[in-house]
Amino acid sequence: KSLRREKVFSALQTIQMEDYIDRPINKLSGGEQQRVALARALVIKPDVLLLDEPLSNMDAKLRLEMRNEIKRIHSQSNITAIYVTHDQSEALSMADRMAVMKDGKIIQVGTPRHVYCSPSNTFVANFIGETNFVCGSVESHGTAETVINSEIGMLSSQMKKPFQKGEKVSCSIRPEAIQIGGLVPQDVVNQFKAKVTGITYLGRIEEYHLLVNDKIPLKATRYKPGDYSTQAGEQLTCFVAPEDVILLPPDM
């Protein structure tokens, strides 16, 4: 019994709940119960810990708190963990390496940064974070850049994938990559005009809903929004850096 209690106490120390050792489980909060569930798994010192949607029933604030707590516990316990989630922000923030699955098959594996910045296809680009897709065809392909004749105008990309002239492509452009309004550098490439159809204020960011050529919807994100005077209906000059234009094969 003493050895069992010692192991239980050690597991509770890991989750910083040793003071709750004699408290009934139904007297704990949702987050505390989730931490106890982790302790139960850790106490047997498994080789691999499987966490299947562990935060799915929590509210947004508690999910964020538990996300940080699980990272701390994982780092302290030094146990390999497989974390299953449909929440992209959880996957990006918690993984050392991540695997994206579709129809039961793994379609890309890599670090969170690599998967986000270099998705292998349109499914991964759309599933991991938000993105805009712009259709086009390869106008020219060189060692330094690929030029795309797209539905929002000519786009230059620094992608090194060997596309052929005339080949159809899908350009993935993240909302945060679209620079909107303000001073546009001289001779900048990838410029286009867009009409603002709506603005959503979210505190630390603003989302701009744009329309190019009266038919192509795009979303742009502005961080640290100030007291800007941009209104729905205005025309803005936008541009995207060539390194932020990700070329992918179109959906089949």
* Tens-digit pLDDT profile for residues 105-120: 999 999 999 999 999 9
| pLDDT at 189 > cutoff 70 | yes
Same domain, 149 and 73: no
Same domain, 239 and 142: yes
The pLDDT confidence band at residue 184, using thresholds 50, 70 and 90, is low
Same domain, 230 and 139: yes
The pLDDT confidence band at residue 226, using thresholds 50, 70 and 90, is low
- Does the residue 192 lie in any domain? yes
Same domain, 85 and 167: no
Same domain, 152 and 82: no
CATH of the domain at 58: 3.40.50.300
Q: What is the pLDDT of residue 154?
A: 95
Q: What is the pLDDT of residue 219?
A: 96
Of 74, 80, 64, nearest in space to 31 by CA: 64
Same domain, 167 and 232: yes
Last residue of one domain, picked from the residues 41, 76, 96: 96
The pLDDT confidence band at residue 82, using thresholds 50, 70 and 90, is very high
Last residue of one domain, picked from the residues 49, 72, 96: 96
Q: Tell me which residue has tokens 């286009």.
A: 192
Instruction: For residue 216, give its domain range.
Output: 131-248
| pLDDT at 227 > cutoff 70 | no
Same domain, 66 and 150: no
pTM of the model: 0.83
CATH of the domain at 178: 2.40.50.140
